[in-house]
Amino acid sequence: MSIDDKNALARYDQLLARVYTERRMPTGTRDLILALGWVGLRDLRRHDPTITTWTRTREVLNATNEQMWRHLADDVPRYDSKLHDQTPNGCQAPMVRVDRLCGRNTVHGFSERDPVTGWSRHWGFCNRQRCREYATPIYKRARHSCTVAPEPIPNRGGLLPLFFTWDWEPKYRKAAKHILFDSGWGPPGYGLSADEWPAVPGQEPVKSFPKLRLIASHGETVQRSALALI
């Protein structure tokens, strides 16, 4: 085994360790990262200039083009309120003599934005006068929060750029449009990579690692053919 092959094997082992210690990674994203790592570091055809990294990765995964797009769509950096908002169903006004929430069907609903993370929390209240009175100051506070809260910190995706440096933005944009049906998606102001996002209070920040860029071939450093979705 050449020195280059030994170095590639060591880097691949490091990649495996990093991937399997990342607990927030969806299965599809994990499979995609492992396959990309294999194609770039261990695959016998990794120096073949006639095939792109993405095409070869699709072959390794035995995946259709649509499946590859879905893997990529899972990693589109974005804020998803469903991942953290555990708002209970029903009216959220507290009862007077019982230690529980009202729970009646909601008639009035609105969202409040967190001043640090920009994340939203949904409020709902029934039409009973006492519950409406309880909701009034919360509603005023929520209206103000929407004018001063920052852009929501992404809480989903952004893992592929942790491991590989490629031109991810146009790929994410196309995946968002065709798979997530979100034609208005744009890169978060915080960056595409999850290691660029601000820390969220109470959550462990994402660790930043060196990214895979170049591949050694017979003692020379060569650029792999550009990653291109087909």
What does the pLDDT profile of the chain (230 residues) look like in tens digits? Answer: 676 767 777 888 888 888 888 777 888 899 999 999 899 888 888 888 888 888 999 999 999 999 999 999 999 999 998 887 777 889 999 998 899 999 999 999 999 999 999 999 999 999 999 999 999 999 999 999 999 999 999 999 999 998 888 889 999 999 999 999 998 999 999 999 998 999 888 777 666 666 665 343 443 434 445 554 43
Note whether 163 and 212 are within 8 A (CB): yes
User: Residue 40 has what pLDDT?
Assistant: 86
**Pair 151, 186: CB distance under 8 Å:** no
Between CA 40 and CA 199 the distance in angstroms is 31
Torsions phi, psi of 156, nearest 5? Answer: -150, 140
